[in-house]
Homo-oligomer: A and B are copies of this chain.
C-alpha cells in the first residue's frame, strides 16, 4: 500500500502540482481512507520527501556502481553517467517531473538533505573527471567543477525536451552528447 500511495501521488503531483493535490485527492484515487494514508506517512510533505529520497538515492546508487566499475575507462564512466540521466528521465518521467519541479515545496531540514544529495551526484561526476585527467583520458586545463556542471546541464536539460517516441533513442542522444563532449565541434577550418 505504501508503494501504491507513492505511485499515485507521483502521478497526481506531476499532473496537478504538489500544492494543488490534497491528501483527500490521493486517498480518493486509491479508494482508501485518510487513516490509511496517515498509517504510512505523517504528512503530504513527508510523502514528497519520500519521493525525492527514493529518486535521488536510486540515482546515487547507480552512479556509485559506475564510479567503482574497475573494468570501465573514465570516458566510459562519463558516458554511463550521461546515459543514466537521460535513460532515467525516459523511464521515470513522472518522478523526474516531481523531482525537478516540486523540490521547493520541501521545508528544512528536508530541503537541505536533498540539496546535499544532489551535490553529491555532481561531486561524483567531478570524481570521474579527475580520475580521467589523472589517466590523461581527459584534458587537464579546464576547471573540473564547471565542466561537471556543463555535463550535468546537457544531460538534465533533456528532461525538458527528450521524447521517448522521438527520432533519437536515449542511447543515441547519449552517444551524440558524448562525442560532442569528448571530441568537440571544431571543423577543419
Using a CB–CB cutoff of 8 Å, the interface residues on chain A facing chain B are 19, 78, 129, 132-133, 135-140, 142-143, 146-147, 149-150, 152-158, 161, 168, 173, 176-177, 179-189
Instruction: Verify B143–A153 contact, CB threshold 8 A.
Output: no
Contact of A155 among B147, B153, B183 (CB under 8 A): B153
Which of B136, B147, B156, B168 is in CB contact (< 8 Å) with A146?
A: B168
CB–CB A146/B184 < 8 A: no
Which residues of chain B are near A187, meaning CB under 8 Å?
Answer: 132-133, 135-140
Complex CA gap A71/B147 in Å reads: 29
Taking CB atoms, residues of chain B closer than 8 Å to A136 are 187-189
Smallest beta-carbon distance A13→chain B, Å: 13
| Neighbour of A158 across the interface among B153, B173, B176, B180, CB < 8 A | B153
Contact of A147 among B142, B152, B180 (CB under 8 A): B180
A19 to B187, CA, bound (A): 48
| Given A149-B157, A153-B155; A142-B176 close (CB under 8 Å) | yes
- Interfacial chain B residues near A155, Cβ < 8 Å: 153
Chain B residues, Cβ within 8 Å of A173: 146
Chain B nearest CB: distance from A74 CB in Å?
A: 9
Among A133, A135, A142, find the residue whose CB has the most chain B CB atoms closer than 10 A.
A142
CA of A168 to CA of B148, assembled, Å? 14
The CA of A78 and the CA of B180, in the complex, are separated in Å by 14
Known: A135-B189, A147-B180. 13 other contacts (CB 8 A): A129-B185, A137-B187, A138-B187, A139-B185, A139-B186, A140-B187, A142-B179, A142-B185, A143-B176, A146-B173, A153-B156, A154-B154, A154-B157
